[in-house]
Structure 1
């Protein structure tokens, strides 16, 4: 059995403010505590900085409107690591919401899909001092109930495109450029390079520093790209 939590008026959890804490060892001679309400560990003599929800929302809005993490850190006087944590945490939450909505939308629009317009946009992924091309596959699904957008990020191949197709109904015609990956699609039409997806690509390049053509080596992971796009889409909605 674990220790019984006690109410300590002299110690409170820096994460949730609870006084229901227990002592939990002394790493490097410093008293550590465990919060029984939120489950987080903290040091009793450490200084913790709290940031308001309004400040976090402002940072996310600035990021989704073209500012870099470093610039946000300087303007708001917040550590760069904190800004990165916010973007990763809330970007992941928004992306998970999108995935859930895509699954529901696929079932909801059955029998009403008439066109699916797909296109790709390139960007860079930085690994081990080298920049690699990565591609954002975006598909607008036009239905009688409305339009929704699905996207996936990775190499310019069938696997990445499959990440889009699994959230799109088989009905309706496909429309794309003349990239050979799409020629095997059923009921496929080649359209002009200037299609509805181009406005999304322009918006992403304008609103996210990491996707600007002249900027290399700013995307450190595929997940960061996915989460960043989710932040832009939620901020625009």
Structure 2
């Protein structure tokens, strides 16, 4: 018998651990058993399938009914991946016209409303940045700070919500829903692909944190047409 830590053969039996013989290394004090079972868990393909189903409109319990993977396990995978994904993406080309909008949803109950603020390039597909919170200027400010510091827009298109004129200069601001087709389309895609954002659904967010993780995962999927797969708490597929 050899110690896995220091490779010493000076070891003694030291009782049993979960029905298996436990050993103690006299040299370094390491306790160990004779053999370890391979770590149990789901293979990459199962995780990828479940996460792909999630960002294609299925709720956690629906995925459980189809795959047999418990809904809380799928939630954990979404959280693990979501913690590594960004809220902002660097534009491939600097936007000349930006569109800004808010999508209304709720957490826990329909009385607890929350807004997803999104920013897009008028001439390219994809959401480049977002924030989640109430309908106030305080919530919008971090998104605006990111947009105004990274983008070089000639003007911005929004609806008539009173918060936007507090940040956008009059000469750079166009209030016109007719020219908001890009951002409206992106928000519609979010509702289409994520069950918890649909207007009439039995799926809903119980926490703001899980809603954020879900949004990060979906935006990544729509941008790269792939889902990152968690192996363990600290081991993931490459996250772009």
Instruction: Give TM-score, length-normalised by structure 1.
Output: 0.69
Q: Note the residue ranges of structure 1 that are not aligned, 5 or more in a row.
A: 8-22, 34-43
Residues 65 and 148 (structure 1 numbering): CA distance in 2 closer, same or farther, change over 3 Å? closer
Alpha-carbon distance in structure 1 between the residues aligned to 2:5 and 2:214: 40
Aligned position for 2:118: 138
Distance 2:57 2:51 in 1: 10
Question: CA RMSD of the aligned region, Å?
Answer: 3.4
Query: Of 158, 167, 174, which aligns to 2:137?
Result: 158
Counterpart for residue 122 of structure 1: 104
Structure 1 partner of 2:64: 73
The equivalent residue for 2:204 is 218
Poorly superposed stretches of 4+, deviation over 6 Å: 44-48
CA deviation string 1:67-95 (max 9, x = no partner):
000111121111221111011111222x2
Task: Using the TM superposition, give the Cα deviation of residue 159 of structure 1 relative to its aligned residue in structure 2, in angstroms.
Answer: 2.0
| CA spacing shift, 1:146–1:66, aligned 2, 3 Å | closer
In 2, are the aligned partners of 1:116 and 1:140 still within 8 Å (CA)? yes
> TM-score, normalized by length of structure 2?
0.68
**Corresponding residue for residue 56 of structure 1:** 47
- 3-state secondary structure, aligned to 2:58: coil
Unaligned runs of 5+ in 2: 8-13, 23-34, 225-240
**1:19 alignment partner in structure 2:** none
Structure index of larger Rg: 2
Structure 1 6/60 Cα, relative in aligned 2: closer, same or farther at 3 Å? farther
Deviation at 1:139? Answer: 0.6
Determine the C-alpha separation between the residues in 2 that align with 1:148 and 1:218. Answer: 22
- The Cα offsets for residues 46-79 of structure 1, whole Å up to 9 and x where unpaired, read as 9964100011011000000000001111211112
Instruction: Identify the residue that residue 5 of structure 1 maps to in structure 2.
Output: 5
Distance 1:30 1:136, change over 3 A: farther
Contact 1:91 1:231 (C-alpha < 8 Å) held by counterparts: yes
How do 1:1-237 residues align onto structure 2 when only pairs under 5 Å count? 5=5, 49-93=40-84, 95-96=85-86, 98-99=87-88, 102=89, 105=90, 112-126=94-108, 131-142=111-122, 149-170=128-149, 171-172=152-153, 173-184=155-166, 185-186=168-169, 187-192=172-177, 195-215=181-201, 218-236=204-222, 237=224
